[in-house]
Amino acid sequence: MEKYRVLLVNDDGYQSKGLTAIRSRLIDEGFDVVTVTPDRNMSGSSHSLTFTRPLKIEKLEENFYYIVDGTPADCVHLGYHVVLEGKKPDILVAGINTGPNLGNDIFYSGTVGAAREGTMLGIMSVAFSPSSAKNPDFEGMSQLAIKIIRQVLYKGLPDKVFLNVTFPNIPVDQIKGYLLTRQGRSAYREEIKKYISPSKEVYWWIGGEEALEEECEKGTDYTAVKEGFVSITPIRLDLTDYRGIEIMERFDFLSID
């Protein structure tokens, strides 16, 4: 069997249980795994690259590197250009994330940002996340992830498209199957908490609660995992709304005072 090379990244840092589970599974399955991660949790960093300061790559163990204070996209960029010396891996795997990346989360997610960066570099890429951060079964999810990874390696992906995969947070033997889905809407009740320091300074912590049931629509990533399916959402690099162009061609911007 051909030995495929995987560039494995995440946004939760090198000590993440989701990362450890998928890395061990990939190695046990015979993949050549090169792991490059942030040195700490960088969730919510989206697709940002660090341009304002230098980055340092440290080696933790054989084929396991992490970037001090770098973003997930930094990890992909330096993993490919520096660690792998520009030799393209067969696939990039981002995750397994510690929490969900559903709906509008994909715009904030460092996990999804890493997969997008890999796609921009011409690497087939897949992002993996659970549907909830409440006691996810990473071992079971890594078992399902391998099946998806092998399908991508054998059959490929459309040009400039990557996959955002979300696992329902239920026992593996209760999962009903896999569904191709579309990105859902934001379905979180916003939660902003106020904190006051001992010196009476005010701080704010931005967060969100679990998905609201009334916001979940058929065919979306939210509904798929809620109904016990693995959600597989193909994401394009091109965000252009071509229908919007057709509509706006009737606008006369030059006439605006």
In a domain, 241, yes or no: yes
Predicted local confidence at residue 201, as pLDDT: 86
The larger pLDDT score, comparing residue 119 to residue 203, is at 119
Q: What is the DSSP letter of 12?
A: S
Domain count within the chain: 1
Provide mean pLDDT across the span 141-155: 97
Average pLDDT over residues 201-225: 72
Check residues 192 and 216 and name the one with the higher pLDDT: 192
- Report the pLDDT averaged over residues 44-73: 88
Q: Tell which wins on pLDDT, 172 or 185.
A: 172
Domain of residue 133, residue span: 5-183+216-255
17 phi, psi to nearest 5 deg: -70, -35
pLDDT for 148: 97
- Residue 196 in any domain: the answer is no
Order of all β-strands in the sheet with 125-130: 56-61, 64-68, 32-38, 5-9, 91-94, 125-130, 161-167, 229-236, 177-180
Report the pLDDT value the prediction gives residue 214, as an integer from 0 to 100. 43
Q: pLDDT for 17-30, tens place per residue?
A: 999 999 999 999 99
Task: Tell me if 193 is assigned to some domain.
Answer: no
Establish if 87 belongs to a structural domain.
yes
Asked whether residue 189 is assigned to any structural domain, the reply reads no
- Span 39-55, average pLDDT: 83
Within a domain: residue 110? yes
CA 109 to each of CA 42, 117, 171: distance values in angstroms, whole numbers, following the listed order? 9, 12, 25
